[in-house]
Amino acid sequence: MCELLGMSANVPTDIVFSFTGLMQRGGRTGPHRDGWGIGFYEGRGLRLFQDPSASAESEVARLVQQYPIKSEVVIGHIRQANVGKVALANTHPFVREMWGRNWCFAHNGQLADFQPAPGFYRPVGDTDSEAAFCDLLNRLRAAFPEPADIEALLPTLIEACREYRRKGVFNCLLSDGDWLFSCCSTKLVQITRRAPFGPARLKDADLTVDFQAETTPNDVVTVLATEALTDNEDWIVHQPGQWTLWRGGECIAEGCDTLSD
């Protein structure tokens, strides 16, 4: 399995603290040694760092920790390979341009025997995750030949996620740089940090940050992760079927889509 990391904020914010915790799980405090990646939106541009090696030992991961990139939306992932060999092409997050925007996607879980019909978007690597991402975009484009707001797309998106959840485990993060969408199948937690800010202590590394010293009173920053990254804060646990939509650190829509038999 893998671990996910997402951030939505109302001001450009660096994610060095959370990223530093997550990276330890890629070979040091966790078994996810088969690559890692992180995408930072910068306006409509997307800065993607990936490495098919263990994040705890990756030169590129070290750079990302030393070089605080400020972003309003971030999607990160560390991989423990199930489907698809260890290779750059199989490393999350995956990116495709749709409607003149960079769509970025990361998946935790596994879909059994997933063979979607080939469409316009096709996987480059051989993971079930990338195949699901391509299928999702193909469905959205089939339903909406021209660009549509996320609010209009949501029912199609949720319906697609339901189908993927029927085929296995499908925790995911998705963004077009404006909003951040999550879908929980088995495991996802969230924390929203806003004034009054306090100190936060990483679970996986000997690191504490005083967010009060690093933020302004108006900052709102939400972090989503597979498992809580700090041990002195209350992370909210998502339920199976729960989806959320974030913009500027705030939840703008959410729901729970329970699978019926």
Q: Which residues are catalytic?
A: 2
Q: Between residue 123 and residue 182, which ones bind a second copy under the rule CB under 8 A?
A: 123-125
State the residue for tokens 């995408």.
39
The H or E element spanning position 49 is: strand 45-51
* 60 contributes a contact to a second copy by CB under 8 A: yes
Give the three-class secondary structure for 173. Answer: strand
* 97 contributes a contact to a second copy by CB under 8 A: yes
Number of alpha carbons in the 13 Å side-chain half-sphere of residue 58: 29
Q: Which listed residue (10, 16, 28, 42) binds a second copy by CB under 8 A?
A: 42
Amino acid at 64: V
Q: Which listed residue (47, 119, 195, 231) binds a second copy by CB under 8 A?
A: 47
* 190 contributes a contact to a second copy by CB under 8 A: no
Identity of the residue, 45 or 196, whose beta carbon is nearer to a second copy in the bound complex: 45
Phi, psi of 153 (to 5 degrees): -80, -25
Give the three-class secondary structure for 104. Answer: strand
Alpha-carbon gap, residue 161 to 223, rounded angstroms: 21
What is the nearest approach in angstroms of a second copy to the Cβ of residue 223? 23
Identity of the residue, 89 or 253, whose beta carbon is nearer to a second copy in the bound complex: 89
Alpha-carbon gap, residue 13 to 193, rounded angstroms: 12
- Tell me the sheet residues that pair with 168: 111
* 120 contributes a contact to a second copy by CB under 8 A: yes
Query: Beta strands 3-14 and 221-225: pairing type?
Result: antiparallel
Q: Which listed residue (31, 67, 142, 232) binds a second copy by CB under 8 A?
A: 67
Identity of the residue, 148 or 251, whose beta carbon is nearer to a second copy in the bound complex: 148
Total residues in contact with a second copy, by rule CB under 8 A: 31
Q: Which listed residue (20, 24, 91, 171) binds a second copy by CB under 8 A?
A: 91
Residue partners of 118: CB distance under 8 A and separation at least 6? none
Identity of the residue, 120 or 152, whose beta carbon is nearer to a second copy in the bound complex: 120
Give burial (CB, 10 Å; 0-12/13-18/19+) of 82: middle
Identity of the residue, 67 or 198, whose beta carbon is nearer to a second copy in the bound complex: 67
Q: Which residues bind a second copy (CB under 8 A)?
A: 42-48, 50, 52, 59-60, 63, 67, 87-91, 95-97, 99-102, 120-125
